[in-house]
Amino acid sequence: MTVHELKLAALTGAVLALTVASVGDATAQDRVRWNMQSAFGSQLSHLGTGGVRLTENMERVSAGTFQIKFFEPGALVPALECFDAASRGSVESCWTTAGYHTGKIPALAFFTAVPFGPQYGEFFAWKKFGGGDELKNEIYSEHSLYSLDCNSIGPETSGWFRQPVESLESLRGLKMRFFGLGAQVMQKLGVSTQLLAGADIYPALERGVIDATEFSMPAMDIDLGFHQVAKNNYFPGWHQQVSVNELLMHKPAWEGLSDQHQAMLELACGEQIHYDYAETEANNPVAMNKMVEESGVEVHRWADDQLAAFEEAWQAVIEEQSDTDPVFKKVADSYQAFRETYKTWGDAQFLRSTYVED
């Protein structure tokens, strides 16, 4: 090899080395590592397992360039304090639900579930095309937050009680764990409500700190052991006909992502919503039958006049809150206007359970 060829080879090698180094630097810069504090334990059906699945899917679709680490409740911050942690940027993201932040901003409850609210299709229609999600992130933006809907579950149970509820009057003075806007309805009926994270409910129920509880649905309630303490389970879940949970992010962290990584997260969350909702509808019939057959749980349905009383109390809540809270009113007005528009279509499509006489 001539001196000229040696110099050319050396120059080519140097250029190649610089190119590889440059690509390596770019790849390193494109890698994202986020912490995600969860409000739900990783073993909790649907809510917890959904968060774990999201992290696995993001690893998969990004070929490892976007990794999100799931942290159990309380590992980084308490389960119900994700709002402040993500707002400050102490964590990049939280696997949580907007209804857990109602102590700060009551209107946020609308973005998880609404008493006597719509089913899956109508709720997402309002959120995605009726201005709901825009309102949600308008509120969050003031606190350096950004949210993506990332989980959805079907109808819930509306309560676990030690004794059958003979009348709504017997609810007066009861201490009960209750969530979101439904808690305000129960307060109207004389119930003393408090919000507890999932893992804290069983010990509170067992020790008598609370007399009754609602949390979610049979598959999850079995995980948490409520049926071991209270045997009377009430339906329908008038307070949560569908529930939507979120990936709550520090807004600068979200905005710092590449367009590709943002798209991956949006698509992964969309798939997670579909998967989790279908999973709840598949698993809960089995779980409900198991509770009845193996644990002696008695399933009760609220009487029509009792449901009417709950709904009347809900109407009072929405009017009173709207009179005193402009943000609540803005969200409530948007939600109610969409429902009014949807009503003609919704009513036209309604089917009774059967048309054939037995």
Rounded to 5 degrees, what are φ and ψ at 89?
Answer: 85, 15
Q: Are residues 144 and 278 in the same domain?
A: yes
The verdict on residue 168 lying in a domain is yes
In whole angstroms, give the CA distance from residue 281 to residue 183.
25
Strands 159-161 and 175-177: unpaired
The pLDDT value given to residue 26: 40
Q: Which residues contact 348 (CB under 8 A, 6 or more apart)?
A: none
The pLDDT value given to residue 3: 42
Q: How far is Cα of residue 176 from the mean position of the Cα atoms in its chain?
A: 21
Q: Are residues 71 and 38 in the same domain?
A: yes
pLDDT tens-digit readout, 103-118? 999 999 999 999 999 9
**245 CB-side CA count, 13 A:** 24
- On whether the pTM is more than 0.85, the answer is yes
- The yes-or-no verdict on residue 125 having pLDDT over 90 is yes
Q: Are residues 98 and 54 in the same domain?
A: yes
C-beta separation of 89 from 144 below 8 A:
yes
Average confidence (pLDDT) over 68-90 = 96
**What is the share, in percent, of the chain residues with pLDDT greater than 90?**
89
In one letter, which amino acid is 265?
Answer: L
Q: Would you state the structure tokens that stand for residue 293, as one six-digit string? A: 């057959």
- Residue 246 domain boundaries: 30-154+242-282
Q: Are residues 201 and 266 in the same domain?
A: no
- The yes-or-no verdict on residue 354 having pLDDT over 70 is no
Q: Where does the pLDDT of residue 351 fall: very low under 50, low under 70, confident under 90, or very high at 90 and above? A: confident
In whole angstroms, give the CA distance from residue 152 to residue 113.
10
C-beta separation of 80 from 197 below 8 A:
yes
Q: Are residues 147 and 214 in the same domain?
A: no
The verdict on residue 264 lying in a domain is yes
Q: Where does the pLDDT of residue 285 fall: very low under 50, low under 70, confident under 90, or very high at 90 and above? A: very high
The verdict on residue 319 lying in a domain is yes
Q: Are residues 215 and 309 in the same domain?
A: yes
In whole angstroms, give the CA distance from residue 230 to residue 298.
10
Q: Are residues 175 and 144 in the same domain?
A: no
Which carries the bigger pLDDT value, residue 353 or residue 185? 185
